[in-house]
Amino acid sequence: MEKKALKRDIFDEIVKYLNTDNIVVLHGARQVGKSHILFFLDDYLKKRGKSTYFFDLEDARLVDVLNQGVDNMLLFLKNEGIDMDALKKAKGRLYIFVDEIQYLDSPSPLLKLLADHHKYIHLIVSGSSSFDIKSKFSDSLVGRTVDFEIFNLSFSEFLRFKDTALNTKRKLDDFHLKKIKGLYKEYVLFGGYPKIVMENSIEKKEKYISQIIDTYIKKDIRDLAKIKDVAKFNNLLKVLASQSGQLLNVAKIADICSLSKPTVEKYLFILENTYIIKLVSPFSSSAKVEVVKSPKIFFYDTGILKLLWMNAFPQNSAGNTFETSIFAELAKKYGARNIHYWRNRNQNEIDFVIQFKDKLLPIEVKTNFRNFRKSSMGSFLKKYRVKDYKVVSIEGEKRGENYFYPWEL
């Protein structure tokens, strides 16, 4: 994957901060492509004549180098042939990439000293979960970092990685519409992890996703949460996967998995902060009026969801899997924290409400456009005096300007 150096959409946002004094921090689940983005940035800077150095902390020897502090790091870089004095004299910058920074014992003092006293060094770092980063980053870094959440591939990135020339912003004829629908169904079926997208063999796709689940989700999170009863935790993952897109009932799940409610809540916290799931809160302008306070649970990747739930890839995607894919697309576009759902006392419900830049955008998701009924949407539009809304589907005929295919979001 790194050899192709394919551009991710978030690159255009990150590059804006390469000439600032901010430490750029990328965090997200393992295997979603954080290292690839760092390599792409490294290559981008080198092509513009900039000085760079890359620390891959999967190499334990480099962890030791950085754990010994700033002076040892600078000595190491000089021994690597980097002329710091010449850089400072020329008022140049050294861009230092640190991949998997959570492996350091205490990264905050190192980053703070570099940011405050070595302005000719610009840091771009990555970590595999916000939980790891928050637990190891101290308050001393407040105001010194700019954070970017890295997710699996969006559908537009999926098309790029599949090397297809389809333009999702252009009106498509029947032939190309059928083609892009097939590609989106593949995207829903197998998810958006870069390695999975680049693999053509279904057998290997399944094998690779199983490895991600076993190595990075089950093992890493087990270790992070110090989970003792592995079987119950694995069963919890399966139960949660079966409920993606549904209201979360912690007490019921605890009963099903024979776990205590506090234990389930602890595991949910870890899973959310390692970018496996997201708990979507209900939208309300008044807590007295909206009665549903339970969040909905969504997985960020439908391939992970499928294998956890069914242990295989079925040929057809259930409605909740399609809805989960739409959630993931919206999270990448608007930010997961800006996504809510809505339900009132009369059981009127809207799948997603985007609260973004002081605007509200209600979105209904259907497997077929013909299944949409406007009663719930009408209730929401009237109550909150909103005019714009979207109906998203992949099947059936669009019936107006408010109807969209997933790639038109």
Least confident of 27-41, 290-304, 380-394: 290-304
| pLDDT on residue 130 | 59
pLDDT in tens, 9-26: 999 999 999 999 999 999
Q: What is the pLDDT of residue 142?
A: 78
Rounded distance between C-alpha atoms, residue 222 and residue 299, angstroms = 18
Name the band, by pLDDT with cuts 50, 70 and 90, for residue 2: very low
**Which tokens sit at 36?**
């690839």
Handedness of CA 134, 33, 113, 92 (dihedral sign): negative
Look at residue 48 and give its three-state secondary structure.
Answer: coil
**Does the pLDDT at position 315 exceed 70?**
no
**Mean pLDDT value across the chain:** 90
Percent of the chain at pLDDT > 90 equals 69
CB neighbour class for 37 (10 Å; exposed up to 12, middle 13-18, buried from 19): buried
Q: Does residue 54 surpass a pLDDT of 90? A: yes
Across the range 357-370, mean pLDDT stands at: 94
Tell me what pLDDT residue 268 has: 93
pLDDT attached to residue 151: 94
> What does the pLDDT read at residue 138?
63
**Mean pLDDT confidence for 107-112:** 91
pLDDT above 70 for 317: no
pLDDT of residue 165: 77
- 48 vs 356, residue with greater confidence: 48
CATH 3.40.50.300 placement within the chain = 2-150
Please state the rounded mean pLDDT for residues 319-345: 92
Q: What is the pLDDT of residues 178-226, one digit of tens each?
A: 999 999 999 999 999 999 999 999 999 999 999 999 888 887 777 777 7
* C-alpha atoms less than 13 angstroms from C-alpha of 42 in its C-beta half-sphere: 20
The per-residue pLDDT for 333 is 93
Phi-psi region of 358 (alpha: psi -120 to 50; beta: other; left: phi over 0): left
- pLDDT band for position 1 (cuts 50, 70, 90): very low
Q: Which CATH number is 2-150 given?
A: 3.40.50.300
Q: 190 near 205, Cβ under 8 Å?
A: yes
Q: Which residue did the predictor score with more confidence, 109 or 167?
A: 109
Q: Which residues is 339 bridged to in the sheet?
A: 354
Nearest Cα to Cα of residue 266 among 280, 281, 253, 256: 253
Task: Judge whether residue 291 has pLDDT over 90.
Answer: no
Residue 260 to residue 254: CA distance in whole angstroms: 6
- Give the pLDDT confidence score for residue 216 in this predicted structure: 82
Task: Give the E-state strand segments of 47-171 in sequence order.
Answer: 51-56, 94-99, 121-127, 145-150
Checking DSSP bridges between strand 349-356 and strand 339-343, what pairing results, if any? antiparallel
Average pLDDT over residues 154-182: 89
Residue (of 193, 192, 140, 137) closest to 25 by Cα position: 137
pLDDT at 370 over 60: yes
Distance CA 256, CA 267 (A): 15
The answer to whether residue 365 scores a pLDDT higher than 70 is yes
pLDDT at residue 131 is higher than 90: no
| Local confidence band at 289 (pLDDT 50, 70, 90 cut-offs) | very low
